[in-house]
Amino acid sequence: MKKTTAAITAVGGYVPDFVLSNKVLETMVDTNDEWITTRTGIKERRILKEENAGTSFMAIKAAEDLLEKRGIEASEIDFVLVATATPDMPVAATAAYVASEIGAVNAFAYDLQAACSSFLYGMSTAASYIESGRYKKVLLIGADKMSSIIDYTDRTTCIIFGDGAGAVLFEPNEEGLGLQDEYLRSDGIGRQFLKIDAGGSILPASEETIKNKQHYVYQDGKSVFKFAVSNMADVSALIMERNNLTKEDVHWLAPHQANKRIIDATANRMGLEADKVMMNIDRYGNTTSATLPLLLHDYEKQLKKGDNIIFAAFGGGFTWGSIYLKWAYNS
C-alpha cells in the first residue's frame, strides 16, 4: 500500500492595513532608516490598530481567505491548530475561538507555542495527524500580534516586529507530495536571551512588573543572532544532505523572517542564489508565527507542483529546525 503523505493544498494570509515605516520609527526612538535597513533588511511592518482585536482577528481573516480560495466549507475541517506566541488571552485557547468564528463546527482546536518556531513545529503536528490517517483536513494558522508585547520606546526590539497571520491546509496525498522530512531541535539554555519575564507562573503580573516593563519582549539580540545564524544554516544543510538534495534540487528556501543577514547566511550555506529565497521581511518585519505562511501566501503563484521547499526557523526557547516539503499544486 502506498504511504499517505501530508500535503499543503491551500494557503491564506492577512496583514493589517496600518504601515509603520522606518521613517516613522525615527520619530519614536533614536534610530534611523539606514541602520534598520542594513542591520535587518526591514523597511516597514504592519500593525493591527483595530480596537479590542487580538491575534484571533488576523487568524480568522487568514483562515477565511484560505477557505474561499480552496472552495471548501469550514465544517469539513477536522482540526484547527493556531501557532502563536501572542494568544488572545493567557488562558482560553485562541484556536477554539477561531474555529468557532469561522464555522469549523466539527473541529477540535488548540494553540501551539514555540516562539518564532511555532509554525514550523505546527507543520510537524499537522502533518502527523494526516499521515496517521486520523484526520483528513487540518487547518494550521500562524498568527501573532507582536505589537501587543513590544515596548515602543525600546529601539532594540520595536524596529523588528510586526503583526500578521497566514494559514495553510494540510490534506492527505497519495502522490508522495507534501512533508518529506523534518529536523526539529530545542535548547532551554536560550530562554535567558529572548523572553517576557512577567505574566507567567514564575513572575505573575503586578504593579511592580508593569513599572519595570517586564511584560514586554526582552531580547539580547547579539546572542540570539549568533545562535540563529549557525543553527538555521546547520539544520538547513543537514536536511539537504540527509535527503540527498543538491542546491539544484532545491527550488525554494522559506526561511523565518527575523533578519536578512540570518537569511542570507542560511542561503549561502545551502549554496542557493537569491532568486530561490523567499523574502518579505522588508515589508512585514518579523511577524513571529506568521512569517512562514505569509511567505507561502506571497509566493504561491510562483510555486509549482513538485517543487522542493526547505523551511527553516529559529526562535526563543531556543527552538529551531527545518522541514523539507514537496509542493503539491499549481495555482
Which residues are the active-site residues? 116, 256, 286
Q: Smallest distance from the beta carbon of 112 to ligand UT7, in angstroms?
A: 16
Among 26, 33, 39, 69, binds ligand UT7 (CB under 6 A): 39
Residue type, 250: V
- Which residue, 234 or 307, is less far from ligand UT7 as judged by CB? 234
Among 3-11, 198-206, 223-231, 319-327, which window interacts with ligand UT7 (CB under 6 A)? Answer: 223-231
Which range of residues in 34-42, 63-71, 99-107, 269-277 is near ligand UT7 by CB under 6 A?
34-42
Of positions 120, 228, 240, 309, contacts ligand UT7 by CB under 6 A = 228
CB 239 within 8 A of CB 323: yes
Q: How many CB atoms lie within 10 A of CB 175?
A: 12
Query: Using the rule CB under 6 A, is 263 a contact of ligand UT7?
Result: no
Rounded to the nearest 5 percent, the helix, strand and coil shares of the chain are: 40, 25, 35
Residues 6+ apart with CB under 8 A from 95: 80, 81, 82, 109, 110, 111, 141
- Quick check: 269 binds ligand UT7 (CB under 6 A)? no
CB atoms within 10 A of CB 63: 31
Q: Based on CB atoms, which residue is closest to ligand UT7, 145 or 326?
A: 145
Contact status: 43 vs ligand UT7 (CB under 6 A) = no
Q: Kindly state whether residue 327 participates in binding ligand UT7, applying the rule CB under 6 A.
A: no
Parallel/antiparallel/unpaired status of strands 44-46 and 194-195: unpaired
Residue at 330: amino acid letter: N
Rounded Cα–Cα distance for residues 211 and 194 (Å): 20
Site for ligand UT7 in 118-157 (CB under 6 A): 155-156
Cβ contacts of 238 within 8 Å, gap of 6 or more: 183, 322
Q: Does 83 bind ligand UT7 (CB under 6 A)?
A: no
CA distance 142 to 95: 10
Task: State the nearest-atom distance from the C-beta of 325 to ligand UT7, in Å.
Answer: 21
Q: How far is the CB of 219 from ligand UT7 (least distance, A)?
A: 6
> In the set 56, 259, 266, 289, which binds ligand UT7 (CB under 6 A)?
259
Total residues at the site for ligand UT7 (CB under 6 A)?
A: 19
Place of cell 503539491: 328
Identified binder of ligand UT7 from the candidate list 97, 121, 225, 284, rule CB under 6 A = 225
Q: List residues bridging with 140 in a β-sheet.
A: 81, 168
Q: Is 224 an interacting residue with respect to ligand UT7 (CB under 6 A)?
A: yes
Identify which of 206, 224, 226, 223 has the alpha carbon closest to the alpha carbon of residue 215: 206
Residue 96: all three cell numbers together: 477554539
Per CB under 6 A, residues contacting ligand UT7 are: 31, 35, 39-40, 116, 155-156, 159, 221-222, 224-225, 228, 258-259, 262, 286, 314-315
